[in-house]
Structure 1
Amino acid sequence: MSFLKDSIKKIKAPDKIMYEAAKERLRNQARPVGSLGILEDVSARLAGIFRKIDVNLDKKIIITCAGDHGVCAEGVSLFPSEVTRQMVYNFVNGGASVSVLAAHAGADVKAADLGVDWDFEPDLPVFHKKVRKGTGNFAVEPAMTLEQAEKSVEAGIEIVGELVAKGPVHLLGTGDMGIGNTTPSTAIISVYSGLPAAQLTGRGTGIDDDAIKKKIAVIEKGLALHKPDPKNPLDVLSKIGGLEIGGLAGLVIGAAVYGIPVVCDGFIATAGALIGCEIAPPARDYLFASHNSAEIGHRFMLKHLGLTPLLDLGFRLGEGTGAALAMELIDASTRILADIKTFEEVGISDAQ
């Protein structure tokens, strides 16, 4: 049995009884029923995951998976691929957007090299999980082999295991870095939504009208050439995906294996979550969506996963920035459940 299949078998469902107990407490709190909206269900889901009412998210970390994309040769991005490696160093040095927002949320950030086209120093403090140096150009060849796709997912699972081996992790955020990665992400949601690329393709880092036409054509060409099978998520990942997308899928699966709630960032992180939940459907119970990205295809990903995003701020950066901000709301939800008094506790009877 492969490491991936063995890992999936270890996923346990959250505690339904505790989830219902949390919902009952929320209904009986001294305020109108449902008045705190989405955060009520978030808090109840966390109670089910941790199997207790009073949840404390003391240890939070965001893993930003990085990888390069051969499809950049088609001119689908505004920036050159060299920016991917440069940003990895920026994460290490704490100068990136996610570094600042994560610090505000009380979360650590660590980058993971899944497929950057660069040889990082062995002692650089990142997760060294390189499967290969960048994907192939899926407009002319598969992005990677099936074996490499599986290895990228397993690398994400391994990262969670390595984190847990060093101490408890209470909330995991996922983020991405990879120039050109909105192109494979759009291709992935086209496969799973059945919608044409033209209806799903956004501007990524800010490409102009001519470039977006080219981007649509590239995605259409890749889908027609490879015919990825939505019933086989590893087939989809290997043909039109990205190495960091595979790593992100593995993080979602790994979080579920270890009973850790995971909040995914925007478009690319959700593409990884989608692949992860297609590979391991039980992982969906541990997944939270941070925000609604400005990228067009993201809403269709969230719909496919049945997730309601916590924020809608017009973000389209990636890195884990949306996940960092959402962590503060998720943290607040735990206090809503545990600390707001019920009518009985404050001596008001039959108020509801």
Structure 2
Amino acid sequence: MTPTDHQTSQTTDQTTLQTLLASIRPADAAAMTSARERQAQLTKPAGALGLLEDLSVRLAGVFGTDRPHPRGVAVIVAAGDHGVVAEGVSAYPPEVTAAMVAGFTASTPSGMGGAAVNVIARTVGAKVYVADVGVNAELPTHPALENLKVRMGTRNLRLERAMTADETLQAILAGSDLAGRAIAEGADLLVPGEMGIGNTTPASAVTARMLGASVASVTGRGTGVDDATLARKRQVISAALDRDASHAGDPLGVMADLGGLEIAFMLGVMLRAASERRAIVLDGFVEGSAALVGVALAPELRDYLFPAGQCAETGHAAQLAHLGLTPMFDLGLRLGEGTGGVLAAPMLLSAAATLREMQTFAEASVPDRE
């Protein structure tokens, strides 16, 4: 590719992203008002379904009707490696990323994949998409693996920007494209998921920058590192922030400076889902870092975000508080892969079903409250 061709391609990508951002509209206020009115008439005491009632109203806003009927569930697992693992911030070696991708796509007696996300997805009827966006290895061709590699892992964020602006755009648009395909294939609930050894380090760095929070308050043990490794991890993130190469007013700059290829990819999944008025089920902390950048770019994105559970990773609660979102459960999860999001999908489908299919007091000929 000549310099002119590269510049043209980059300009096209920037235009595509701006068009995507501009297409995200707020949730349908009229549908939510109608849904609240319908909730008040259903055959149950007011508020008896708790959070499900709030979820059903929000789903009405996403799908533009007071009787939302979301059906297909897709989890899109993006895999990428991180140069910062050279700093000793993880309990596992980087080779595990490639090995886990193989596990996601392996043939098992029960179906495709033997990882937690595959097993849970099969149980609840969700479809799994797996994408290599930045694994630091040449993975064998596989019909169940999307080869969308931007580069062989990120650079070491302690020393330099993790990605160029162009690489960040490529990863975002790759996520958008795969999300578009999942939607075309029937997905109404999209779960962005990730696999990348060391990725809680960039997620913590992005979160600290976007929230203006202390490193200690948003940096936890990730894969279960010991005290010495946790201290080193926090020092590495502090050093990355001290490079002062990005600021919260430039969210894409923060993603390029401190993020990861799979994190940028998940951002693209979220933006595309919102642009096509589909619900986004957030898994945990790494996904939350992508959501922080996404809402900074397009505030209306928040209307489409449904956090599954508050994960055990330090900093996730701060992300959710900043976004003004309430998690559905707290199971102490910290696996990633989109597992929590897939677990939450039946709750969202059930919330929609209560609003859509329950009878009102009048329909059921049941006496209402005095």
TM-score, L = length of structure 2: 0.91
Equivalent residue of 1:40, what SS? helix
Give the residue type in structure 1 aligned to 2:49: L
CA distance 1:164–1:341, shift in 2 (3 Å):
closer
Contact 1:202 1:296 in 2 (8 A): yes
Report the equivalent of 2:85: 72
| Residue 35 (structure 2) aligns with | 22
Among 159, 165, 168, the alignment partner of 1:146 is: 165
**Alignment pair present for 1:233 and 2:246:** no
2:270 is matched with which residue?
Answer: 252
Q: Match of 1:60, SS?
A: strand
In the TM superposition, residue 340 of structure 1 has moved relative to its aligned partner by 2.3
What do the CA deviations read for 1:229-288 (whole angstroms, capped 9, x no partner)?
101111101111100000011110010111111101111111112222222222221111
Percent identity, please.
41
Q: Which whole-Å deviations, capped at 9, do the CAs of 1:193-239 have from their partners, x for residues lacking one?
A: 22211122111101000000000100000000134210111110111
CA contact (8 A) 1:8 1:280 kept: yes
1:270 maps to a residue whose letter is G
CA distance in 2: counterparts of 1:55 and 1:346, whole angstroms: 21
- Structure 1 equivalent of residue 129 of structure 2: 110
Deviation string, structure 1 residues 26-49 (Cα, Å, up to 9, x no partner): 112222212211111111111222
SS of 1:226 mapped into structure 2: coil
Q: Helix, strand or coil: the match of 2:175?
A: helix
5+ long unaligned stretches in structure 2 = 1-13, 107-112
Matches within 5 A, 1:257-296: 257-296=275-314
Name the residue aligned to 1:4.
17
CA distance in structure 2 between the partners assigned to 1:257 and 1:304 by the alignment? 22
TM-superposed deviation, 1:350? 4.8
| Partner residue in 2 for 1:31 | 44
> Using the alignment, how far apart are the partners of 1:319 and 1:161 within structure 2?
20
Paired amino acid for 2:301: A
CA separation in 1, counterparts of 2:153 and 2:286? 16
The answer (yes or no) to whether the contact 2:251–2:296 under 8 Å persists in 1 is: yes
Shift of 1:298: 0.6
Question: How big is the shift at 1:163?
Answer: 2.4
Aligned residues: CA RMSD = 1.5
1:309 aligned counterpart, secondary structure: coil
The residue number in structure 1 matching 2:110 is none
Quick one: which amino acid aligns to residue 256 of structure 2? S
Question: Contact conserved, 2:71 with 2:349, CA < 8 A, in 1?
Answer: no
SS in 2 for 1:29: coil
2-structure distance, mates of 1:105, 1:50: 21
Alignment of 1:94-243 (within 5 A): 94-165=113-184, 167-243=185-261
Residues 126-168 of structure 1 deviation map (CA, whole Å, 9 limit, x = unaligned): 2222111100001111101112112211111111122234x33
3-state SS of 2:321 partner? helix
Equivalent pairs, count: 351
Provide the rounded CA distance (Å) in 2 between the counterparts of 1:124 and 1:117: 20
- Secondary structure in 1 matching 2:293: helix
Q: Confirm or deny: 8 A CA contact 2:210 2:292 kept in the other structure.
A: no
Mapped partners of 2:194, 2:369: distance in 1: 47
Which range moved further: 80-89 or 280-289?
Answer: 280-289
Residue in 1 that maps onto 2:109: none
Residues 266 and 322 in structure 1, CA contact (< 8 A), matched pair in contact too = yes
Deviates more, 1:278-287 or 1:246-255: 278-287
Is contact 1:91-1:110 (8 Å) kept?
A: no
Greater mean deviation of Cα atoms: 181-190 or 42-51:
42-51
2:6 match: none
CA distance in 2, matches of 1:73, 1:226: 21
Task: Provide the residue aligned with 1:313 in structure 2.
Answer: 331
Structure 1 unaligned spans of 5+: none
Deviation larger for 193-202 or 46-55: 46-55
Match of 1:45 in 2: 58
| 1:302 partner letter | L
Shift of 1:348: 3.9
For 2:8, the equivalent position in structure 1 comes to none
Is contact 1:54–1:338 with CA below 8 Å preserved after alignment?
yes
Task: Give secondary structure in 2 for the equivalent of 1:344.
Answer: helix
Residue type of the partner of 1:239? D
Q: Which range moved further: 6-15 or 222-231?
A: 6-15
Aligned AA (2:156)? N
Mapped contact 1:173–1:263 kept (Cα < 8 A): yes
